[in-house]
């Protein structure tokens, strides 16, 4: 952030207003922390911690996902919530920024345990959320199943049944078409714009490394294949499957079945796909993987470090499009910036299609209707194209896309703070 914002701190017209606005933005407006007691299948009491970081309401209701993962703490949620403010600003929708979750580990839990946990989590969270106050969604460890259980509990407790209080809901009770696909598809649409505009090329035939095999990775891979790219990897926290000749639709079905239906590890797919499984590696640590034209990190934060970024440049990488939030470390970013020919689009722009479509789900719920698939896909495409244009405009003649996206998001929020009379 500092890189792009620094010149604004010496703005001749606004003095140091932007510095004051920036400092104001760095503290969450409100942080909530609570106990989540739940019973496991042996009848034993477990207690986890839950959080909601309501970071900024300058542009609209607090909005951002819930993450269930053992590494979650208030620090991780603060950085995710901070990024979310600017991402949501870029969508052009009236959405503030937030993030939440728990240090609960869903891995290895039965469906009954997941349900009991989600119900207990919502029993606490429900007193802080509302369609016009704070609207959570999914993130790592929180997919359609978990959103359904939490929404079910919210309905029981609140007696409100048509509310856009959670997004990522099933189509059966107020969800929107394309929400599961939106983040991954959106990241690929964003890549398409940048590759065509800046490199005069297309994704056709390009070797694209994808990390992760969860929601974002699944649909980024699917859209890349639809556009004729070769998906050369998917991964999970234990290892990576490398497809030197590109993933096939049959391979994709195997991954989807393993992850969405069996909730299994990728290691169990050894021999079941055309790829080769490498334990203990990610796409960014594998010296054996041949050329990578474009990288789509879609797993988690800090996955591409300095060495990973260097490896990408050695393999001829021309662009990194972040499906995940902050997957590139500060050192990794410095390596990518060292080659100005490499396109680098941070998560706050590249993965904004997810929250953008969640914003559309809120509008759909408010209008008590169900929008058609084609309408939502067209709106998602338009949104990603709008974000790309904002980045290019804010970057100006000399700036990078990274600088443009940081600037565009920041300026929108800063001007809202001024208009609201909160920073002057
Ligand atoms: P999922 O839980 O569906 O999938 C996460 C994937 O990342 C899994 O394959 C998981 O492997 C892997 N992963 C998690 N932690 C690690 C780790 N420490 N090291 C290596 N791999 C890891 O989450 P999503 O796909 O929803 O989210 C992925 C990223 O995208 C996150 O950064 C999230 O914040 C971001 N994002 C998600 C959006 C959405 O709409 N879902 C919207 C915008 C951003 P394993 O199963 O082994 O844990």
Q: Are residues 120 and 41 in the same domain?
A: yes
Residue 370 in any domain: the answer is no
- Mean pLDDT across the chain: 95
Q: Is 159 annotated as a binding residue?
A: no
pLDDT at 412: 97
Q: Are residues 190 and 322 in the same domain?
A: yes
Exposure letters 34-62 (e unless 16+ CB within 10 A, then b): bebebeeeeeeeeebebbbbbbbbbbbbb
Q: Are residues 134 and 207 in the same domain?
A: no
Instruction: For ligand 1, pick from 97, 212, 305 the residue to mutate: most ligand atoms within 8 Å of CB.
Output: 212
Residue 358 Cα, ligand 1 centroid: separation in angstroms? 18
Residue 101 in any domain: the answer is yes
User: pLDDT tens digits for 301-354?
Assistant: 999 999 999 999 999 999 999 999 999 999 999 999 999 999 999 999 999 999
Asked if residue 354 lies in contact with residue 182, where contact means CB atoms within 8 angstroms, the answer is yes
Q: Which atom of ligand 1 is nearest to the CA of 87?
A: 43
Nearest CA to ligand 1 atom 21: 237
User: pLDDT tens digits for 104-120?
Assistant: 999 999 999 999 999 99
Asked if residue 279 lies in contact with residue 239, where contact means CB atoms within 8 angstroms, the answer is yes
- Alpha-carbon distance of 132 to 110, in angstroms, equals 34
For a pLDDT cut of 70, what percent of the chain falls above it?
97
Q: Ligand 1 pocket by C-beta < 6 Å: which residues?
A: 138-141, 143, 183, 212-217, 236-238, 298-300, 323-325, 351, 354
Q: Mean of the pLDDT values across residues 47-66?
A: 98
Q: Mean of the pLDDT values across residues 235-261?
A: 96
Q: Are residues 129 and 266 in the same domain?
A: no
Q: Which of 314, 345, 376 is the last residue of a domain?
A: 345
Q: Which atom of ligand 1 is nearest to the CA of 299?
A: 7
Q: Are residues 141 and 267 in the same domain?
A: no
Residue 389 in any domain: the answer is no
Q: Are residues 320 and 191 in the same domain?
A: yes
Q: Mean of the pLDDT values across residues 404-413?
A: 96
Domain that holds residue 75: 25-163
135 pairs with which residues across the strands? Answer: 63
Q: Which atom of ligand 1 is nearest to the CA of 218?
A: 25
Q: Is 359 annotated as a binding residue?
A: no
Residue 354 Cα, ligand 1 centroid: separation in angstroms? 13
pLDDT at 6: 59
Q: Are residues 190 and 336 in the same domain?
A: yes
pLDDT at 281: 96
User: pLDDT tens digits for 127-186?
Assistant: 999 999 999 999 999 999 999 999 999 999 999 998 899 999 999 999 999 999 999 999
Closest of 304, 317, 350 to residue 194, by C-alpha: 350
Q: Is 310 annotated as a binding residue?
A: no
Instruction: For ligand 1, pick from 81, 146, 237 the residue to mutate: most ligand atoms within 8 Å of CB.
Output: 237
Q: What is the CATH number of the domain that holds 130?
A: 3.40.50.10860
DSSP 117-142: HHHHHHHHHTTT-BTTTEEEE-BTTB
ipTM value of the model? 0.98
Q: Is the pLDDT of residue 202 over 70?
A: yes
Q: Which atom of ligand 1 is nearest to the CA of 326?
A: 32
Neighbours of 400 (CB within 10 A): 19
Residue 64 Cα, ligand 1 centroid: separation in angstroms? 15
Q: Which atom of ligand 1 is nearest to the CA of 182?
A: 40
Residue located via tokens 């345990």: 113
Residue 6 Cα, ligand 1 centroid: separation in angstroms? 31
User: pLDDT tens digits for 77-107?
Assistant: 999 999 999 999 999 999 999 999 999 999 9
Q: Is 375 annotated as a binding residue?
A: no
Out of 185-194, 201-210, 282-291, 393-402, which region has the weakest mean confidence (pLDDT)? 282-291
pLDDT at 288: 77
Q: Which of 322, 345, 368 is the last residue of a domain?
A: 345
Q: Is the pLDDT of residue 7 over 80?
A: no
- Phi first, then psi, for residue 3 (nearest 5°) are -55, -50
Residue 393 in any domain: the answer is no
Residue 380 in any domain: the answer is no
Residue 17 in any domain: the answer is no
Q: Mean of the pLDDT values across residues 346-375?
A: 97
Q: Is the pLDDT of residue 238 over 90?
A: yes
**Count of the separate structural domains present in the chain:** 2
In which band, very low, low, confident or very high, does the pLDDT at 2 lie, cut at 50, 70 and 90? very low
For a pLDDT cut of 90, what percent of the chain falls above it?
94
pLDDT at 401: 97
pLDDT at 287: 80
Residue 324 Cα, ligand 1 centroid: separation in angstroms? 7
| Model confidence, pTM | 0.96
Exposure letters 331-343 (e unless 16+ CB within 10 A, then b): ebbebbeeeeebb
**Which residues are catalytic, by number?**
99
Residue 141 Cα, ligand 1 centroid: separation in angstroms? 7
User: pLDDT tens digits for 376-396?
Assistant: 999 999 999 999 999 999 999
Q: What is the CATH number of the domain that holds 251?
A: 3.40.50.720
Asked if residue 391 lies in contact with residue 408, where contact means CB atoms within 8 angstroms, the answer is yes
Asked if residue 63 lies in contact with residue 97, where contact means CB atoms within 8 angstroms, the answer is yes
Q: Is 328 annotated as a binding residue?
A: no
Q: Are residues 112 and 253 in the same domain?
A: no
Q: Which of 345, 379, 407 is the last residue of a domain?
A: 345
Q: Is the pLDDT of residue 14 over 80?
A: no
Half-sphere exposure of 333 (CA within 13 A, CB side): 18
Q: Are residues 94 and 235 in the same domain?
A: no
Q: Are residues 321 and 245 in the same domain?
A: yes
Give 71's contacts (C-beta < 8 A, 6+ positions apart): 103
Instruction: For ligand 1, pick from 95, 264, 300, 358 the residue to mutate: most ligand atoms within 8 Å of CB.
Output: 300
Give 399's contacts (C-beta < 8 A, 6+ positions apart): 4, 407
Residue located via tokens 């294949």: 225
Residue 171 in any domain: the answer is no
Residue located via tokens 């909530």: 32
Q: Is 160 annotated as a binding residue?
A: no
Q: Are residues 63 and 120 in the same domain?
A: yes
Q: Are residues 52 and 92 in the same domain?
A: yes
Residue 399 in any domain: the answer is no
């Amino acid at each position: 952030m500092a890189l792009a914002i620094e010149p604004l701190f010496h703005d001749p017209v606004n003095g140091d207003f932007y510095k004051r606005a920036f400092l104001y933005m760095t503290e969450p407006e409100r942080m909530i922390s609570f106990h989540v007691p739940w019973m496991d299948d042996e009848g034993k009491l477990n207690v986890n911690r839950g959080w909601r970081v309501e970071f900024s309401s300058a542009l609209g209701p607090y909005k951002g996902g819930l993450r269930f993962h053992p590494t979650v703490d208030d620090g991780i949620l603060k950085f995710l919530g901070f990024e979310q403010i600017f991402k949501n600003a870029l969508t052009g929708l009236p959405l503030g920024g937030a993030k939440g979750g728990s240090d609960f580990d869903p891995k290895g839990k039965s469906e009954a345990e997941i349900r009991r946990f989600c119900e207990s989590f919502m029993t606490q969270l429900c007193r802080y959320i509302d369609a016009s106050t704070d609207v959570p969604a999914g993130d790592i460890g929180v997919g359609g199943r978990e959103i359904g259980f939490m929404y079910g509990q919210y309905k029981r407790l609140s007696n409100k049944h048509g509310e856009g209080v959670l997004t990522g809901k099933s189509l059966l009770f107020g969800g929107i078409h394309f929400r599961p696909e939106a983040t991954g598809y959106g990241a690929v649409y964003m890549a398409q714009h940048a590759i065509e505009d800046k490199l005069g090329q297309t994704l056709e035939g390009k070797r694209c490394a994808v990390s992760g095999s969860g929601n974002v990775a699944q649909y980024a891979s699917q859209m890349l294949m639809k556009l004729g790219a070769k998906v050369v990897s998917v991964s999970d926290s234990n290892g990576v499957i490398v497809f030197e000749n590109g993933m096939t639709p049959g391979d994709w079905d195997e991954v989807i079945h393993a992850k969405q239906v069996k909730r299994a590890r990728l290691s169990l797919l050894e021999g079941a796909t055309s790829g080769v499984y490498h334990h203990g590696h990610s796409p960014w640590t594998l010296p054996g993987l041949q050329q990578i034209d474009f990288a789509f990190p879609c797993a988690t934060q800090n996955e591409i470090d300095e060495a990973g970024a260097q490896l990408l440049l050695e393999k001829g990488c021309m662009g990194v499009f972040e499906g995940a939030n902050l997957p590139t470390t500060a050192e990794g970013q410095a390596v990518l910036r060292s080659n100005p020919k490499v396109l680098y689009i941070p998560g706050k722009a590249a993965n904004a299609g997810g929250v953008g479509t969640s914003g559309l789900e809120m509008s759909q719920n408010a209008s008590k209707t169900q929008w058609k698939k084609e309408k939502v896909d067209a709106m998602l495409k338009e949104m990603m194209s709008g974000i790309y244009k904002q980045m290019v405009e804010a970057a100006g003649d000399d700036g990078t896309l990274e600088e443009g996206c940081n600037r565009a998001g920041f300026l929108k929020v800063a001007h809202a703070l001024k208009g609201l009379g909160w920073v002057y």
